[in-house]
Structure 1
Amino acid sequence: MGKYENDSRQLLDLVGGKGNIGAVTHCMTRMRFVLSDPSKADPQKIEALKSVKGTFTQAGQFQVIIGNDVQTFYNEFAAISGIEGVSKDEVKKEAKGNMNVLQRAVADIAEIFAPLIPAIIVGGLILGFRNIIGEIKFMNDGTETLVAVSQFWSGVYSFLWLLGEAIFHFLPVGITWSVTRKMGTTQILGIVLGLTLVSPQLLNAYAMAPGIEIPVWDFGFVKMRMIGYQAQVIPAILAGFVLVYLERFFKKITPQAVSMIVVPFCSLLLAVIAAHAVVGPIGWAIGSAISKVVYAGLTSSFRWLFATLFGFVYAPLVITGLHHMTNAIDLQLMAEFGGTMLWPMIALSNIAQGSAVLGMIYLQKKDEESKQISIPACISCYLGVTEPAMFGVNLKRGFPFLSAMIGSAIAATVSVGMNVMANSIGVGGIPGILSIQPQYMGIFALCMLIAIAVPFGLTVTVGKKKGIR
């Protein structure tokens, strides 16, 4: 008998049987099901299984948290059920039948940004490191930077911009590629479209200033401004979708014999014209408006209220999947204002959820079975992956989740109140301090302590009153 054979058989029955499973796959820690009738699943009984650490429903998928042994569990489940697994992309596609319009839109945005996140995280860490060696004066009694006194570090500072520029200035290339990848159209056309948005022939978006003369393409009867879209998010997304739908249109109407020539030529040419003449300027205006509204909320006299509310509700947003919207906002803030005050609050929320789990570990230090779930969940949360902590521990009891929300709200209020800004999106937990702009690292460290101490203290206090041991 396999290690998880018994639990696999029970799980198959508890999700409604083989006939109720539309698709199944797994990720790093979870089994992911698309169920024909989600109401047939019994989360309570599933969570009672020894190998299961929690369940939740997100993006139309019923997800069962197994942990690091999920690959072994999945293999045994597949053998017992006779169901052949599919890719995560196929599961996501199948799951959209269980989602409303808003959920589908959020899922689409999440799928566009997911492949880009590793590069953005690397970029944030590199910018943070460059700021430390190039901006902080800690040499010669605090009068000079490391770059100023060392040729080696000066070279490192200059060389690392090669990566920073590639990741952030040329971000539209990644976005247009990701849109075509997600929508199943020709990816190289997406890359070429993105390159036309950041071509050196164009006025760099970062060079835009009041009164500057903007070059134009003059066609006689009409002029088109030669503006680049470096680091711009929404113009790239809109341009990418224009290309996708143009390609689909031309594929439908073009004879197969000339399709290889006509479809890419017409699709790309018209998409580039639309990008620079229509959707680019519109997207820039939309992105600027969104970022200015958020920035105003983060810098106004009511910023403490904005920060408190955001810090309090971010974890519930994760449950709904709406938190994926923040990626686009963060990137737009970075393009407009050279950094983001939103992302530090997200990192603090993750830390707070992990700290609530730490409180449960303390309360249940003699319970070996619970520690098998809570210790890995806590470590994972402190490294930026919150689902095992939230769904496997905090939401089961309720009060640890609320304790974390309170701690997150307080830490966020202090963070925004002290103008803490990150260079970019980073690792969403304790290592996130590496993405914070150097002048704010000390304050962010204080915020991290708040996000650790408050949830831990509240969880332990309430847990003791409830008699949890």
Structure 2
Amino acid sequence: MAKQKLLDIVDDSYLDKLMAALGGKENIQYSTHCLTRLRIVLADPEKLNEAEIKKMDGVKGTFTASGQFQIVYGTDVAKIYTKFAKKFGLSQLSKQDIKREVLKKENWFKKFLNYMSDIFIPIVPVLVSGGIILGIRNIFEANFNENYFMGFDANGDPILGWSMVGASQFINGLNAFLWIPAQACFWWLPVHICWSIFKKMGANEILGIIVGLTLLISPMLNVYEVFNSDGLGSLWIWDIVDQLEKQGKDVAFDWGFMQYPWKIAYTSQVIPAIGVGITGSYICLWITRVCPNVINQILIPTVTVLASYTLALFIIGPVGYIMGSAIGLAFQWALTNDVAKYIFAPLIGLFHAGLVITGMHHLLNAVMIQNVAQYGGDFVFMSVCAQAIGQGSAVLGWMILNRKDPKAKEVGSSAVVAAYLGVTEPALYGVNIKYLFPFIAGSIGSSISLFICVMAGVSAQAIGNGSWLGILSVQVNSKMEGVTTWGGTGYLWFAIANVLNASLSVTLAMIFGKMSVFKKFDPDYIPTAEDVKKLEAKKLAKENKKAAKTKVEKSAASI
């Protein structure tokens, strides 16, 4: 349905029908919307008529998650919500207001997932933008032919390898120009994270930015460069300091009576930044609460910044670095070990879409960033791309099966486009989970895709667009230690893996959709007379088998 037509049909009668299906105004405790969904907290879920809502024009799917009943409308949802709230006099709360109310009833694990999600959601556009920029630079710097003779350098040594930066001065200059925004997106990530945490906690956001900057500013040494110097990749921070001292670099704060030996910046580090951000925001809130008004403009910023900075350098930074390294090392082992990769690569690809449903996929942002910083590349991002392509393609298979249904075209087309652009929620909630078989088909396709990527040595330079455009973030030849990219470059094998992913997901969805075992998951399915006969025959056979077993047991007992 076209955009204008959807908004046209949302008139008073449409809204009255929607409200009635929701159980009436008194059944709505809170309401808001996100990018594509109307989100409602119901007083009594038993009064909800979900089947009636699913039949309404413009509705692309419904589901309940995080204590909220959610109706998928697409990008028109903001205008629909405004009409809905205005007509019935509902308070237009923010998504954060709703979350706060709902989380009061959730367990600690769900609260943790939501907390991590809230931290990274505002930062994701920055990461995607930075990933695309780094992807372009990746292409510029890629060595497409290692044996190509480019000439001699200033020392008279031969220059081997053909790259765009070596072949064109314009590309070389453009590559250097693009490095500045790329650094702002990734090297200065602790600033983004601390700002996001302070904002979420209701602390002073400017102080959050300052606290993040204290992890980065010179003369502290850039830990990102440390990871890429001399092959250093130790888990222990004191090994890094020892290596830097051997290189003749100043790594200590000298106070005369003692030296603090870890004068390093936590560039691109996620776990230390989260720890410092949380600690700093609590310090800021505490000092704001207890500080007299007459000196609050002096005391609040001073205590917040100095206390956070001191704790960061002495405790949180080193501990956070070790924790982040351990997580990254676990994923690296699972996807690079000669034996483990055959087990974990397909399993991670298979269950990645399940992480999206639970919201746990936001935790992988930290893992991916950490892997790139410490190991020079990342395989987890390949799984992000694979699951989006697989789930979107499975919807395409479902659309082919239901090509005579105009509603299937309306719901499916927008879901496929969104998934192919890296947003899988419309596909998952609108189609795949509802009918189950497309979800399974897409998960199998993404499992095969990640397996091929890991075997072929296709690794990511940075986080980018998590779907087809993720190819821009692929390393031509993997820079991860012990990983060799198969002939033809990483671009070729990314394309092969995901064309196969898409083809397999479409095909499996069409096959699974015709299997009777999945029909019971279809909420719109009406059994035919033949189906009823089969079900009755199956039930009778089960009852006869049970009766025969009981008879045998009685005979055995009487002997």
Sort the TM-score into its range (normalised by shorter chain).
over 0.9
Of 45, 56, 68, 2:63 maps to 56
Of 493, 496, 512, 1:443 maps to 493
- Please name the residue that 1:337 is paired with: 375
- Please name the residue that 2:287 is paired with: 250
User: Does 2:309 match 1:272?
Assistant: yes
Cα displacement (A) at 1:404? 0.9
The answer to whether the 8 A contact 1:349-1:451 is kept is: no
User: Does 2:489 match 1:452?
Assistant: no
The answer to whether the 8 A contact 1:106-1:321 is kept is: yes
- Please name the residue that 1:290 is paired with: 327
User: Does 2:396 match 1:358?
Assistant: yes
1:139-160 Cα offsets, whole Å, 9 max, x none, are 8899421211211111011111
Rounded Cα–Cα distance in structure 1 between residues aligned with 2:374 and 2:161: 31
Rounded Cα–Cα distance in structure 1 between residues aligned with 2:103 and 2:505: 35
Amino acid at match of 1:358: L
Cα distance change on mapping 1:331 and 1:143 into 2, 3 Å: closer
Rounded Cα–Cα distance in structure 2 between residues aligned with 1:21 and 1:268: 43
Cα displacement (A) at 1:10? 2.9
User: Does 2:263 match 1:226?
Assistant: yes
Cα displacement (A) at 1:284? 0.6
- 374-383 or 206-215, larger mean C-alpha shift: 206-215
1:74-119 Cα offsets, whole Å, 9 max, x none, are 1332133221212222222223224221111111111111111112
1:192-211 matched pairs, under 5 angstroms = 192-208=210-226, 209=232, 210=239, 211=243
Cα distance change on mapping 1:146 and 1:287 into 2, 3 Å: same
The answer to whether the 8 A contact 1:2-1:76 is kept is: no
1:197-216 Cα offsets, whole Å, 9 max, x none, are 11121121034345321621
- Please name the residue that 1:320 is paired with: 358
5+ unaligned residues in a row in structure 1: which ranges? none
Rounded Cα–Cα distance in structure 1 between residues aligned with 2:422 and 2:93: 27
Rounded Cα–Cα distance in structure 2 between residues aligned with 1:85 and 1:258: 37
Aligned pairs, number: 469
Which of structures 1 and 2 has the bigger CA Rg?
2
- Please name the residue that 1:377 is paired with: 415
User: Does 2:441 match 1:409?
Assistant: no
Rounded Cα–Cα distance in structure 2 between residues aligned with 1:114 and 1:62: 21
- Please name the residue that 2:180 is paired with: 162
Cα distance change on mapping 1:37 and 1:99 into 2, 3 Å: farther
The answer to whether the 8 A contact 2:253-2:263 is kept is: yes
Amino acid at match of 1:129: I
Amino acid at match of 1:97: K
Cα displacement (A) at 1:44? 3.1
User: Does 2:244 match 1:212?
Assistant: yes
Rounded Cα–Cα distance in structure 1 between residues aligned with 2:359 and 2:27: 24
Q: Percent identity?
A: 38
Rounded Cα–Cα distance in structure 1 between residues aligned with 2:28 and 2:106: 16
The answer to whether the 8 A contact 2:252-2:263 is kept is: yes
Of 184, 197, 206, 2:202 maps to 184
Rounded Cα–Cα distance in structure 2 between residues aligned with 1:196 and 1:248: 19
Cα displacement (A) at 1:187? 1.1
Rounded Cα–Cα distance in structure 1 between residues aligned with 2:76 and 2:193: 33
Rounded Cα–Cα distance in structure 1 between residues aligned with 2:378 and 2:38: 34
- 347-356 or 309-318, larger mean C-alpha shift: 309-318
SS in 2 for 1:24: strand
- Please name the residue that 2:86 is paired with: 79
Cα displacement (A) at 1:430? 1.4
Amino acid at match of 2:9: K
1:105-124 matched pairs, under 5 angstroms = 105-124=112-131
Cα distance change on mapping 1:207 and 1:399 into 2, 3 Å: closer
Amino acid at match of 1:364: N
Cα distance change on mapping 1:39 and 1:292 into 2, 3 Å: farther
Rounded Cα–Cα distance in structure 1 between residues aligned with 2:98 and 2:257: 50
TM-score (norm 1): 0.94
Amino acid at match of 2:501: A
Amino acid at match of 1:297: A
The answer to whether the 8 A contact 2:138-2:473 is kept is: no
Amino acid at match of 1:175: I
Cα displacement (A) at 1:218? 2.5
Amino acid at match of 2:422: G
SS in 2 for 1:452: helix
- Please name the residue that 2:533 is paired with: none
1:32-65 Cα offsets, whole Å, 9 max, x none, are 1233444543433322323321112333332110
1:10-31 Cα offsets, whole Å, 9 max, x none, are 3323333323323212223210
The answer to whether the 8 A contact 2:131-2:465 is kept is: no
Cα displacement (A) at 1:222? 4.3
Amino acid at match of 1:76: K
- 89-98 or 101-110, larger mean C-alpha shift: 89-98
1:395-406 matched pairs, under 5 angstroms = 395-406=433-444
Cα distance change on mapping 1:336 and 1:38 into 2, 3 Å: farther
Rounded Cα–Cα distance in structure 1 between residues aligned with 2:508 and 2:99: 37
The answer to whether the 8 A contact 1:59-1:321 is kept is: no
Cα displacement (A) at 1:456? 0.5
Amino acid at match of 1:446: I
Rounded Cα–Cα distance in structure 1 between residues aligned with 2:137 and 2:257: 47
The answer to whether the 8 A contact 1:193-1:271 is kept is: yes
Rounded Cα–Cα distance in structure 1 between residues aligned with 2:44 and 2:255: 58
SS in 1 for 2:221: coil
Cα distance change on mapping 1:168 and 1:89 into 2, 3 Å: same
SS in 1 for 2:253: strand
